[in-house]
Every structure is written in structure tokens, then in C-alpha cells.
A and B are shown apart, each in its own frame.
Chain A
Amino acid sequence: MVYQYIQNGYHIVLDVNSGSVHVVDKVVYDVISDYKEHSREDIAEAIRNKYPAEQLADADINEIFSEIEQCIGQGTLFTEDTYKKQITDYKKRDTYVKALCLHVAHDCNLACCYCFAGEGEYKGERSLMSYEVGKKALDFLVENSGNRINLEVDFFGGEPLMNFDTIKKLVAYGRSIEKEKRKNFRFTLTTNGVLLNKEVIDFLNKEMDNVVLSIDGRKEINDTMRPCKNGKGSYDLILSKIKETADSRKQQKYYVRGTFTHHNLDFDKDVLHLADEGFKQISVEPVVADPKEDYAILREDLPEIIKGYERLADELIKRKKEGNDFQFFHFMIDLEGGPCVYKRLSGCGSGTEYLAVTPQGDLYPCHQFVGQEEFLLGNVENGITNSKIRDMFKNCSVYAKEECADCFAKFYCSGGCAANAYYSHGDIHAVYELGCELQKKRVECAIMLKAAD
């Protein structure tokens, strides 16, 4: 399968199944698009008609075909998808848990309008996770992780720093058992920044592999959607704290993370605002919301959002030349050292290798399903007792979704988010089309940026 597109003057040919990326001239681009459907003679005649003779000698045409054939011979063009059987078999293997989203606080000190957790409560009572429950969660993770060495624990909420003492104790407990159990805990934390102070920042820098700091961008945008409980905006309260955190981490191993909505389709300005404030690791993502909400992203918003991604990609090229660039999470792509095909095609791992744990110790397939009783998997005491739900998630893969078969982006999104699919179609094996369109654009931009390097 070959996918071709032109962006920013680059003619890009993506050989989907091998992962190869070719940057070609416009004549080669045309020849490749006709290569499988027409004879060599017909293609040669067509391009002779299209391009002036002085631009295109017979020798050039031979050269073009020769280079294309060379790529085919090297297995980098028109390769077949030979993965289906192996991925299907891989998905049948026993699953191990390797990552937990630990909801240490179902409570929050902000009142963000778009919060999928309903201001931290997830349809339940406000509550904090006890040390005992958290410890059982870590034990559950270790016991169910098989031979996996790297275990990931994300402290999440609500606002996790409302339960900072428990986080400290749980990290200490994790560190105390990792040598004996031959595991390596990678702790991360997602915070709105309100409770960051020197003590917290020092702790995060010592123990957290990554920190996600929530801020939406420009002050007026952030304050509209991320107010405090008293209705005042949170921007002025958090900006200096998250700057201090980012700087103290030497601008590495963190993200400032924002959400954009129907109200700021020019979200690229928010990304650039964060960059201009000095942040080097930035993620700003589309809101996932009920279409009835006034801030929900609608199909008619797509052209404007796509333009925003294109503007952002152009600006990144410019800033890189100026020595003033930054990382935009959704344009990051590791062409040389990225993950294997198993990872790329077998889904995000929710419900199998990745679980969310509530303050009471209940297990859900991921943070987005917490509070949906029909998705309750079990608890940290007794483990997974609802194997039907786990098996439903286990079957998630690119090959379980018809819509993914002909999509060039399937090796980059792994079939998309199960929660987005469920909330848009009531089926975790469906696809969230809006999300797909945006994902495809982001992949195009990411690859174009590699071509421009």
C-alpha cells in the first residue's frame, strides 16, 4: 500500500507496510501514482504529454523507472501487508499488566468546563486513594506483569497533588520492592499546577520520569475553560509554577499539555503562545466531548483545524532554522527508532496491559472508562474478575477495524482510542472518524517535517 501527498512543496511517498518514506520530484510522484494501474508505455506517454520535452528526455524516463524498481527490489515500495496472521496470533497470547493510571484523587481544585472526570469525581463521590489501596495496586501490578521489567505508574486524578503524601509513600514503596522483584518503576504525574511548590518540584524531579502540566495556552483561552472554583481564571495562578517546574527539569521529560475546543480552532496560536513563554515540550490536543456541548469539535471545524496544523508545521520549520524550535507532541515521530509492528498494530493496550485504578481500588480498562459500571474489570484485591470485558479489549487491533484496512495512518495510531470509539459509536471496535481525520493530518505534518529536516 502506497500513500502519496504534497505538503509545503514536498512530494511525499509513504510505503505504508514497510514504513519507508520517499521524497520525490513531481514526475516520479506522477509515475508512482500510475505505476500499478498502467503499463510502462502508457505512463511514459502520459508524462511526455504532461511535461515539456526539454524537461524530460528519454534517459530521464528510464532513470525514473530504474529508481522505482530499485526501491521495489529493496522492499521499500509497494510492499504487501504480511502482518495480519502474526498480529492476530500475538493478540491471543496471555496478557500482562504493565501500566497503571492511578487515580489517587477523585477531587480537584479547579473546575474545568470540559473535564471528562466531572471536576474530578468521575460520577462518584469525592475521594482520595489511601496508601493501603495504592500499595495493593502496586503489588497487583508487579504480580501480574509477568516478565515485563519496565512498569509504568501515572499519578492521575482529579488533581493528584491533593493527595501528595500518599504519592510520596507509594513511590517509596515502589522503590523499596523494585530490586527484589526485578522491576523498574517509571512514575509519571499529571497535574493542573495549582499545588506545585519547591518541595513538590524537588520530589517530582527526583522520582518522576515524566510530568504533564496542564495549561491550554493563551490566558483568555485557558481561563475560559479552566477556571478556579471561584470562577476566576487559573492562568495567573499556575503559569509561573509550571514554568519553574519545566525549567527545573532542564526543559526535558515533561509536557505542558492543553486541550483545544470549538472555541479556539486557531489552537496553533495557543501552541505558539506556550512556546513563546519558553516551553520546549508542548502538547495541545482536541477535546473529546459530547457533540451537544457548545465546546465540542464538530465535523465542520475540520478544515480550520487542519489549516492550524499546517500553519504550525510551517512555523516549526521556520523556528528550527532560527534555532528557536520546540517539540510538538503530535508531530513527533521516530522514523528510525520507533516501535515494532506488534506495538504499532495491536492497539493501545487499554483493558489488558494498561488499567486505571480508582481511589477505592476498582479496575477499569483506562482512565476514560472510570465510573462506567459496565466496564468494571475487578479490583486490586481480587484482580480481574470480569474477563469478558478484558477479552473484548484484548481483541482490539488495527485488524479488528474494517475502516483501518485502507488507512495509511494505521501504523502510527494503532487503530485509535477505544474510549473515543465507544463514546462516539457505543462500540470500542468502531473508529472515531473525526479523530481519524485529525490523526491523519498530524501524521502527514510529522512526516513532512522529517522531509524538511
Chain B
Amino acid sequence: MKRIRTLTTKNLKQTMKKGGCGECQTSCQSACKTSCTVANQSCENK
């Protein structure tokens, strides 16, 4: 496409199929402890 540049992203709808394993890091165990930051957590079930 010439006018729309789509960044490579994970399609969230697809993640409904095999997601929810619960193995990824709990957000507050990273660095925040005062906010809720989930989007930078890595998926453990790729």
C-alpha cells in the first residue's frame, strides 16, 4: 500500500485461540509497582 504503512503487530483476535496460559510475567513484578503496565510483557506461549 502506498498511503497506509501498517506496522507489524500481533493480531489480538488470533491470540484468543491459544492465549490465557498464565505463564507470562505479572505486571507488577517488572519495575512498576505503582502502575499497571501489561503491553511490554513478553508472551511465553509463542
Contact = CB atoms under 8 A, between A and B. Distances in A.
Given A186-B29, A259-B34, A348-B28, 19 more contacts: A19-B11, A22-B5, A23-B5, A63-B3, A67-B1, A75-B11, A75-B13, A98-B22, A154-B29, A210-B31, A330-B37, A340-B12, A340-B18, A343-B41, A349-B27, A354-B28, A411-B12, A413-B35, A414-B27
A7 interface: no
Interface string B1-36: 111111111111101101110111111111111111
Given A20-B11, A285-B34, A76 B6 contact: yes
B23 A150 contact: yes
A21 B39 CA distance: 14
A429 interface: no
Interface in A81-104: 82-83, 86, 90, 96, 98-99, 101
Nearest to B41: A339
B4 A28 contact: yes
Contact of A338 (B7, B18, B26, B42): B42
A148 B26 CA distance: 12
Nearest to B18: A340
Contacts of A285: 32, 34-35
A297 to B, nearest CB: 12
A348 B25 CA distance: 10
Interface size class of B (residues with CB under 8 A): 35 or more
A83 B19 CA distance: 12
11 contacts: A18-B13, A67-B3, A286-B35, A335-B7, A335-B9, A341-B19, A342-B15, A344-B39, A348-B27, A413-B36, A435-B35
Given A19-B9, A337-B10, A435-B35, A343 B24 contact: yes
Contacts of A150: 23, 25, 44
B40 A329 contact: yes
A21 to B, nearest CB: 4
Interface in A1-49: 17-25, 27-28
B31 A86 contact: no
A192 interface: no
B33 A338 contact: no
Contacts of A70: 1
Given A148-B22, A413-B37, A344 B12 contact: yes
A340 B3 contact: no
Contacts of A71: 4, 6
A23 B26 contact: no
Contacts of A28: 3-4
Interface stretch (A160-168, A305-313, A383-391, A415-423): A415-423
Contacts of A286: 34-35
B26 A348 contact: yes
Contacts of B32: 283, 285, 329
A439 interface: yes
Contacts of B28: 99, 101, 348, 350, 354, 366-367
A410 to B, nearest CB: 10
A342 B44 CA distance: 13
Contact of A21 (B9, B19, B26, B29): B9
Contacts of A90: 20
B2 A63 contact: yes
Contact of A353 (B9, B22, B40): B22
Contacts of B23: 148-150
A341 B12 contact: yes
A18 B11 contact: yes
Given A28-B4, A90-B20, A210 B13 contact: no
Given A21-B7, A28-B3, A339 B13 contact: no
B11 A67 contact: no
A212 interface: yes
A27 to B, nearest CB: 7
A349 B39 CA distance: 14
Contacts of A75: 11, 13
Given A75-B11, A343-B19, A412 B3 contact: no
A339 B4 contact: no
A366 B34 CA distance: 11
Nearest to B9: A335
B24 to A, nearest CB: 6
A222 interface: no
B30 A329 contact: yes
A190 interface: yes
Nearest to B25: A152
A39 to B, nearest CB: 20
A334 B38 contact: no
